[in-house]
Amino acid sequence: MANKSHSVRGTAVSVSALALLGLLTACGPGGDSAGGPSTLSGTAAPASGGSTSASAGSSAGATPSVTPKDGGVPGSASSAGGTPSEAISASGSVSTRCHTAELRASVGRNDPGAGQENFPIVLTNTSTHSCTLRGYPGAAFHSAAGKQLGADPKRTSGSPDTVTLTPGASAWAGLTFSNPQVSEAKTATPATLVVTPPDERDSLTVKWSGGQVPVSGNSSSVFLTVFAPGTGA
């Protein structure tokens, strides 16, 4: 009879120990009775400061991040419905190019040499703010009826520099051609020179008082140089 009682007590102790172990396992660290922590799929990206904390998109049920089609940063003007011009304004990158309406055109005095006729095309900033010119002008001789005389001028080789024009300041580009009496090219006497500033579509019309110009035949090409500061005088 003593042996049976000892066996029952041993069995009761074992059952109690198992029950206690089950209770401790159910509670787990932190006392959460819902069971152990679940494993989330995916990998949390490190924060910008090098921390390994999970980002907002790594939690279960969070909306996955989407890379904007335009390559912008989520939340920026370019990816949050803003227009490109708004993005440019926000970054401070505003163009300062001189526009046609801000300029006055003129033709300087001829400076002939070695059988060449050399006229400076001058653009002057008439606005109240600084602006820039870079590259070549467009130019064409026109008759009194508005018809272009001769082919479009050609560009000489050169390295354009950005010329900043403060209000009232000028820049010039050279217009040069062989003297028709030397080249024996066919000539015409223009009424005007139509000048287009770099990267602009609108033109400025200047009265031409430089005499005859070559329009066809031998050595009839007219050439343009890049803009430089000053008036070319």
Tens digit of each residue's pLDDT (9 = 90 or more) over 125-155: 999 999 999 999 999 999 999 999 999 999 9
Residue 218 is predicted with a pLDDT of: 82
Instruction: Tell me the per-residue pLDDT of 148-202, one tens digit each, with 9 for 90 and over.
Output: 999 999 999 989 999 999 999 999 999 999 998 889 999 999 999 999 999 999 9
Q: Which helix (H) or strand (E) holds 196?
A: strand 192-196
Question: What mean pLDDT, rounded, does the chain reach?
Answer: 72
Judge whether residue 54 has pLDDT over 80. Answer: no
Q: Which residue has the higher pLDDT, 81 or 197?
A: 197
Range 78-92 burial, b when 16+ CB lie within 10 A, else e:
bbeeeeeeebeeeee
According to DSSP, the β-strands at 222-224 and 154-155 are: parallel
CB atoms within 10 A of CB 12: 10
Question: Residue 193: what residue type?
Answer: L
180: burial class by Cβ within 10 Å (0-12, 13-18, 19+)? Answer: buried
CA 77, 51, 70 angle in degrees (round to 5)? 25
**For residue 38, is pLDDT > 90?**
no
Distance CA 15, CA 66 (A): 55
To which H or E segment does residue 11 belong? helix 2-27
Rounded to whole angstroms, how far apart are CA atoms 147 and 69? Answer: 48
Which range in 4-18, 22-36, 70-84, 167-181 is most confidently predicted, on average pLDDT? Answer: 167-181
Supply the pLDDT for residue 202. Answer: 97
Look up the pTM and report it: 0.60
Q: Which domains does the chain have, with CATH numbers?
A: 100-229 (2.60.40)
At residue 49, the pLDDT reads: 37
Q: 19 by DSSP, 3-state: which?
A: helix
Higher pLDDT, 8 or 167: 167
* Confidence label for 94 from pLDDT (cuts 50, 70 and 90): low
Residue 99 identity (one-letter amino acid): H
73 vs 195, more confident: 195
